[in-house]
Amino acid sequence: METQLVSPEITFHQHHDDVEFKRRVRKTTILLSIITLIELAIGLTIYTIHKGGHPNATLVLMFKGMVCILTLAKAYYIVSVFMHLGDEIRNMIMTVVVPLLLFVWFIAAFLIDGNSYKNLRNRYHQEHVEKAPVKAAEESHGKD
Partner 1 sequence: MSTTAATQTKWWNGGRSPFNVEYGKLMMWYFLMSDAFTFGAFLISYGTVRFSSNSWPDPNHVFNAFPGAGTANLPLAFVSLMTFILIISSVTMVLAVHAGHNGDKRGVAKWLIWTIIGGLAFLSCQAWEWTHLHHEGAWWGRNPFPNADGTIASTNFTNFFFTITGFHGFHVFSGVVINCIMLTMNLKGVFERRGHYLMIEKAGLYWHFVDLVWVFVFLCFYLI
Task: Return the H-helix or E-strand segment holding 98.
Answer: helix 90-100
Q: For 73-96, give the DSSP string.
A: HHHHHIIIIIS-GGGS-HHHHHHH
Q: How far apart are CA 100 and CA 65, in angstroms?
A: 20
Q: Residues interacting with partner 1, by CB under 8 A?
A: 4-12, 16, 18, 21, 25, 29, 32-33, 36, 39-40, 42-44, 46-47, 50, 64, 67-68, 71, 74-75, 78-79, 82-83, 85, 88-89, 91-92, 95-96, 99-100, 102-103, 106-107, 110-111, 113-115, 117-118, 121-122, 129-136, 140-144
Phi, psi (5° rounding) for residue 17? -65, 130
CB of 84 to partner 1, least distance (A): 8
CB of 31 to partner 1, least distance (A): 11
User: 59 vs 64, which CB is nearer to partner 1?
Assistant: 64
CB of 59 to partner 1, least distance (A): 14
Q: How far apart are CA 92 and CA 79, in angstroms?
A: 14
142 in the Ramachandran plot: left (φ > 0), alpha (ψ -120 to 50) or beta? left
CB of 56 to partner 1, least distance (A): 14
